[in-house]
Structure 1
Amino acid sequence: MKLVFLIADGMGGWPLKELGNKTTLEAAHTPNMDMLANKGIVGCCRTVPPSMPPGSDVANMSLLGFDPSKYHTGRGPIEAAAQGLKLDPDDLVWRMNLVNLSELSSDGIMYDYSSGHISTDKSVPLVELLQKELGDDEFTFYPGIQYRHLLVHKGGGKKLENKLSIRPPHDITDQSIALDIEEFGKSPLMNKLLRRAAEVLKDNGTKAVSIWPWGQGNPLLLPDFHEKYSMKGAVVSAVDLIKGLGRASGLEVIDVAGATGLVDTNYAGKVEAALKFLEHGDFVFVHLEGADESGHMGSIKDKITSIERFDAQIVGPILKKYPIGTASYLVTCDHFTPIEIKTHDAEPVPFILVSDKCEASGVKLFSEKNAKATGLMLDKGHELMQWVLNLTN
């Protein structure tokens, strides 16, 4: 039996006055997820341990069946794994955004964590320029996708810089960066690098005016997924975070041309890649980023559109190829990204599990409220994978 995980990153949210006190999930037209909810088990799962921040890194590690309290070292190391970087155990890896700030000082405001969703063809030359001007035996800049890049501090894992607490830039949109400037100031090395980078980026023709290193940690080590769960699996995603988790755990990482991580991603390409893998594989983890990005932007319209496209262009086509009985399905999100706060929230996420071995819940509409009302709660997200396997095998 094939096992398909369909993940709409950040799909969960809170009721909005603009939608008549409905969430964006409730307001969206989702006939495929509603049908699955009616035929499967519906409940909630805590993907983020109470002691950890509600990031996609932590939450998706849980969904893949690995305990983040044991294996998580930082956001940067996961994305470094995606690029296959060769690192020493004491290296320090930072996720590095290209951001738009009012100014690089305690009076500064974080205008945009993505520099206007800068395109990869414009961001990569900027990171290459940073490497040319500032790269040395201690720091190396690695280009990634769009606004998401990496900074490696050679031997930094045992130094002061590993203890700096820098907030994710998507958590502080339109807010003061004073706390982070103070934190960077604790390290003369990072403070100097930040300001030199701003000089390099000056007048480059884009909205990227500064680097923003955050989510640092030592290199990631995960158990082998196949050895742990006896499944040949793959991940399909536009973002390095998911690719890194996949590569670090021995899953096949499938690249899809035109996959952007936005509302206008290549849905058909992702479906085609997933279906092709399932011809010989057992498990596929299909990840869509659009709802999360829409939540960070505070766009109700785009988030509803992302959810509807996920339902119509991902869930529907895969279900058509592999009807219930030929595959088992887990449909969920990794975390909430409520429009009101434009960032992540650690509330337990709603999920649907559908298999010919599962009793129907009878839930008519898939929503946060209806999932909570079933009373089914999995408190440890990293145990969800084994729970699913126990019910479907």
Structure 2
Amino acid sequence: MKYIVVLGDGMADEPIKELDNKTPLMVADTPQMDLLAKKSELGLAYTIPEGMKPGSDTANLAVLGYNPRIYYSGRSPLEALSIGVDLKPTDIAIRCNIVSLSDDDKPYEEKTILDHSSGEISTKDAAVLIDAVRKELENDLYKFYVGTSYRHLTIWDQGEVIDLVPPHDILGKVIGEYLPEDNALKELMKKSYDILNNHPINIERKEKGLNVANSIWFWGAGTRPALTSFEEKNHKRGAMISAVDLLKGIAVGAKMKVIEVPGADGTLHTNYEGKAMAAVKVLLEDDYDFVYIHVEAPDEMGHQGNVANKIKAIEFLDQRVIKLVYEAMKKSGVDFRLLVMPDHPTPIWCRTHTSDPVPYILYDSTKEQDNQWMYNEVEAKATGYVVDKGYEMVNKLFDNQ
């Protein structure tokens, strides 16, 4: 038996007025997911433990079977593992986004955050900007590391875990009251604006009408994580396919195989087919037991508040990942179980994550069901199946209940 998770990050949503009070999942053309829903268990899962913040970190840990209350030590340390930064016990890892702030004459504190991703800036351009920041601001206490696209890393030696506001939670707001209370971190952010706003890359971006990448933004502080090996925990050899450092970091911490797919970049136009075929290969040719396919695009479109592109991202996931994996596994004749779900909702109306339960499909090629469900939030609720502890989903997938 082979085991597959296809994770559509932030795919779940709430009814949207301009969609006749339907969700993107309800409107999207998803024949493959709807076919699976008719042959599978359909239900809702709570992936965010009560009282914890609804992040992709806590949610994906849960879907992978790690109770966030036990294993979560912050988002950025997981990303540090992916980048290859070996954290000392005294190190604090901090996510360092490159964001777009309003380009005006107002003081830094009075600027507005326009885009948490700087228009999904390329890693190539972002690396140049982070290098410019590094040359001016790096010292013995603060080190800067390049990640992927807008997502980068700062290591604070002898630091402390403090509350820092995620930039995607305050889009369109004046930043003053959301800046770090720690004066040193705040000064680094302010100085980064002076370094970046008129950098040649941003002058070119302005000329092209693109969002400028004119400030760093700190959030997600944490300490070195300690995850139990996925194989030791589940007696399954596991692999991770994702373009996002967070997911790769979780996999490194869990001693899973990390598969790099050319062209996989976490955007709407990622290499969907490459991810699907890499998953099939690692299961059938490399003889791994479990693969986790993470697709970031629905979440990014939710953060951007782009309804049309969120629908498109869901349709791409359906036809260019799930359909290809399902058909290849069927053709192989190998028994498999397939779990399709989001990690959390990223509703268009708020452009950030919520803690609401998410719809899941759990398919077993050896025990196909026969029902009339469609895959969306409303019908998943109507089935009455509820998984209260999201970190038990892996046990359901492995049929270890």
- Structure 2 length normalisation: TM-score? 0.93
| Structure 1 segment 370-385 matched on structure 2, within 5 A | 370-385=379-394
Corresponding residue for residue 197 of structure 2: 202
Of 121, 128, 133 in structure 2, the residue corresponding to residue 130 of structure 1 is: 133
Of 280, 285, 300 in structure 2, the residue corresponding to residue 275 of structure 1 is: 280
CA contact (8 A) 1:42 1:361 kept: no
CA contact (8 A) 2:108 2:190 kept: no
| Structure 1 segment 180-219 matched on structure 2, within 5 A | 180-181=178-179, 184=180, 186-204=181-199, 205-206=201-202, 207-219=212-224
Q: Tell me how far 1:313 sits from its aligned partner.
A: 0.5
CA contact (8 A) 2:337 2:397 kept: no
- 3-state SS, counterpart of residue 214 of structure 1: strand
CA distance in 2, matches of 1:104, 1:217: 30
Closer, same or farther: CA 358–377 of 1 in aligned 2, 3 Å? farther
Corresponding residue for residue 326 of structure 1: 335
Corresponding residue for residue 5 of structure 2: 5
Unaligned runs of at least 5 residues, structure 2: 203-211
Corresponding residue for residue 208 of structure 2: none
CA contact (8 A) 1:357 1:391 kept: no
Corresponding residue for residue 139 of structure 1: 142
Corresponding residue for residue 241 of structure 1: 246
CA distance in 2, matches of 1:116, 1:122: 12
- 3-state SS, counterpart of residue 390 of structure 1: coil
Per-residue displacement from partner, 1:272-293 (whole Å, max 9, x unpaired)? 2111111210000001111111
Q: Tell me how far 1:24 sits from its aligned partner.
A: 0.4
CA distance in 2, matches of 1:30, 1:173: 30
CA distance in 2, matches of 1:32, 1:208: 38
Corresponding residue for residue 65 of structure 1: 65
CA distance in 2, matches of 1:37, 1:211: 42
CA contact (8 A) 1:42 1:363 kept: no
The count of aligned residue pairs is 384
Q: Tell me how far 1:135 sits from its aligned partner.
A: 1.2
- Counterpart residue identity of residue 192, structure 1: E
- Counterpart residue identity of residue 171, structure 1: D
Q: Tell me how far 1:358 sits from its aligned partner.
A: 4.5
CA distance in 2, matches of 1:174, 1:361: 46
| Structure 1 segment 57-96 matched on structure 2, within 5 A | 57-96=57-96
- 3-state SS, counterpart of residue 108 of structure 2: coil
CA contact (8 A) 1:41 1:361 kept: no
Per-residue displacement from partner, 1:277-332 (whole Å, max 9, x unpaired)? 11210000001111111111111110111101100010101111112862110000
Corresponding residue for residue 179 of structure 1: 177
Q: Tell me how far 1:104 sits from its aligned partner.
A: 5.8
CA contact (8 A) 1:101 1:112 kept: yes
CA distance in 1, matches of 2:197, 2:110: 19
CA distance in 2, matches of 1:6, 1:214: 27
Q: Which deviates further from its counterpart, 106-115 or 2-11? A: 106-115
Q: Tell me how far 1:361 sits from its aligned partner.
A: 6.2
CA distance in 2, matches of 1:337, 1:344: 5
Closer, same or farther: CA 371–391 of 1 in aligned 2, 3 Å? farther
Does 1:298 find its partner at 2:305?
yes
Q: Tell me how far 1:334 sits from its aligned partner.
A: 0.4
CA distance in 2, matches of 1:198, 1:101: 9
CA distance in 2, matches of 1:356, 1:231: 19
Closer, same or farther: CA 246–363 of 1 in aligned 2, 3 Å? farther
CA contact (8 A) 1:235 1:286 kept: yes
Per-residue displacement from partner, 1:168-199 (whole Å, max 9, x unpaired)? 11111111212212xx2x32221222222222
CA distance in 1, matches of 2:183, 2:339: 47
- 3-state SS, counterpart of residue 156 of structure 1: coil
Corresponding residue for residue 25 of structure 1: 25
Per-residue displacement from partner, 1:8-41 (whole Å, max 9, x unpaired)? 1011011112111211001011111111111110
CA contact (8 A) 1:41 1:358 kept: no
Closer, same or farther: CA 344–361 of 1 in aligned 2, 3 Å? farther
Does 1:112 find its partner at 2:112?
no
Of 304, 312, 315 in structure 1, the residue corresponding to residue 322 of structure 2 is: 315
Fraction of identical pairs, as percent: 40
Corresponding residue for residue 168 of structure 2: 170
CA distance in 2, matches of 1:361, 1:368: 19
CA distance in 1, matches of 2:343, 2:227: 19
Unaligned runs of at least 5 residues, structure 1: none
Moved >6 Å (runs of 4+): none
CA distance in 2, matches of 1:391, 1:133: 53
CA contact (8 A) 1:95 1:215 kept: yes
- Counterpart residue identity of residue 79, structure 1: E
CA distance in 1, matches of 2:65, 2:247: 13
CA distance in 1, matches of 2:319, 2:55: 26
CA contact (8 A) 2:101 2:112 kept: yes
Per-residue displacement from partner, 1:326-356 (whole Å, max 9, x unpaired)? 2110000001011111111110110010114
